[in-house]
Structure formats: structure tokens, C-alpha cells
Amino acid sequence: MTQTVDPSRIRDLARAKGIKSAKDLARRLGLGGGEVGGTANRLWSGKSGDTRSGHKTRVKLRAVKPEKLAAVLGVEVAVLTGEAPMPKVQSNDSPEDDMVLRLTTLKAVVNTQAANALALNAIRYRVSMTTQIELAALLFHILAQRSLKHRREALTEIRETHDRLNAIGRERAPHLPTPALRMLSDEALEAENNSIKAEDIFANSDEVYEAQEFVDDPEGHNPFVEEVRRLAAGLPGIDDEIVITPREVSYTISRDRALELCAGDKQLADAVLDGRVHLTGLRGLLGADKTAERVAELRRRLDAYWAEFEKRFGLRKHFEDLPI
């Protein structure tokens, strides 16, 4: 007898496993060709199933074995058929749930400040942390290519300006050597050209560094961070201080959301924004009716941070009001 399953269960279980579409489900099940548009779509949407009056939509399992589907979704077959209850799953479609799911893992990859920034974005824009992370490579690529494009345009403009100056010099002041009219040396321009060709987004090559001999803090004013600062200028929710170097990334976003989360407590909001207080495990405390409990929990975490700080360094009072 062909078994039937509840497609709503399939979707919930699939999403909890990071499967976001019928096509993705088909790939996990090893389906191909017409089976993708048939079996996988029916499992995902519930269309073409049994829809008898008074019964929930059911889908017959024809092209895929129930044991294989259950293995892909990490449950027993009885869960798919409805004979066993659904396990407790958290869907990545919910930014708040996703925040709880992902923060602990993220802290092993990025610092707490960056993980909190993702969490604040999830709350602000209703976009899961998973989606933000999946977009990160694309957005980084776009920023990098914009920066390189603007550097190419600037280099062309500088060279054209040099040519005009040289022409004026030859005509109006032929007694001056042409190099004296140049703003930048040929070596510096060639170093920049080579850096752009190599897609060296931080202008980090030795060749460029030698050309930056008289530039104040060349690493802190690299072309990539300048591109980001130009794009961020005047936008809401982004503090002015943005640091991006090959060794350090630091920025502050969504200060207003952090203040809301901390019920206007500026000291506590600063601790969230700079990563002294993590946002892991706040599920159930994000609602407006949970403000007092949420703030108490965040305050407890800040106290724990300072207790550890004092234990390790024997200091607290002097640093307590500093966002370190």
C-alpha cells in the first residue's frame, strides 16, 4: 500500500534542515528530470494529493521511498505519516528563532560583536541570519568590484590630469622639468595600476606600500574601506566609525534597535553593540511584554562580563563606562 504524508510536515522539517525549496529537496533525495517537477513539488506544495472533504491534504509517496525521505529529514517514517508527533523544530524563516539557533555556532566563527550585528539585522529587517550570511559573499563581491571600478576611474582621471599639466608646462613654463609638474610619480601610478589588475582590494602589496611613504595611516585609509564609507555616509542605523583592514573589522549598526532591546539603557546597548553582552538564547524574551525580563537577563550578562574582567585583570571601576 502506498503511504501518504502531510506536506506541511515535510516543509517544516525540510526548512529546519536548511532545505529551502522543492528543487533543493529533490537534489537531497537524488531525484532528477521530471521527478523534480513531480514528486518534489507535490511533497513541498501538497498539490495533486488526496484532498477528501474533512481531511487534511495528503500526498502519496510514489517515486521516493518513505525511509529515504525520513532519513533526509532526520526523523522516523511515522513522523511523516502522522502516526508519531512532530519533533520540536525551529524554522530558519523566523528571524528570532534563527537568532537563537545560529548565534552559538557563529561565535565560533566570528566575534560576538559581528554575531550581535546579524541578530539586530534579523530583528530590524525580518531577514534571517542564515539569509544574511548567504548574501555575504555576493555583497562583498559587489563592494569589491565597485571599489576597483572607482579606482580604475580615478587612475584614468589622474593620468589625464597629468597629461594636461604636462602640456601646460611645456607651453607656459618650458624652463621647468616636466616631472616637477606631476602630482604623483610614475612609479606610484604604475603600482596602483598593478594593484587594481591583481584585484588587491586593500592596496596591500609591497609595491603600493612603497608608493605610500608619505601617506598617514595607509592601512586605515585603504580604498576598500573608503568605498564602504562613501556608500554608508548619511544612511540611517550606521555609526560613522568604520574600520576595515586585512587584520581588523569594526563597525556599529542598528544602535536604535539595540536601545529598544535594552529599553533605552545606553550602557547596556553599548555592551550589546561592542560584543561584551551576547544575544544568544533570548527566545521568548523579545516581545514587548517581556521587556523587564529581557533587560534583567542582559544586565546579568553584563555583570558576568565585568566579574570575569575583574577576575582576570583586577580592574573594573575605571573601565566600566568604556565600550571595550
The mean pLDDT of 297-303, rounded to a whole number, is: 94
- Mean pLDDT (the chain) is 78
The mean pLDDT of 2-17, rounded to a whole number, is: 78
Nearest to 117 by CA among 132, 105, 138: 132
Q: 4 in helix, strand or coil?
A: strand
pLDDT at 115 over 70: yes
Higher pLDDT, 58 or 119: 119
Q: What's the pLDDT at 161?
A: 87
In this predicted structure, which of 17-31, 50-64, 108-122, 125-139 has the lowest mean pLDDT? 50-64
Q: What's the pLDDT at 206?
A: 62
The mean pLDDT of 204-227, rounded to a whole number, is: 66
CA distance 106 to 115: 6
> b/e for 148-166, b at 16 or more Cβ within 10 A?
beebeeebeebeeebeeee
Longest dimension (CA), the chain: 100
Q: What's the pLDDT at 152?
A: 96
Q: What is the pLDDT of residues 151-196, one digit of tens each?
A: 999 999 988 888 888 888 788 877 766 654 555 677 888 888 999 9
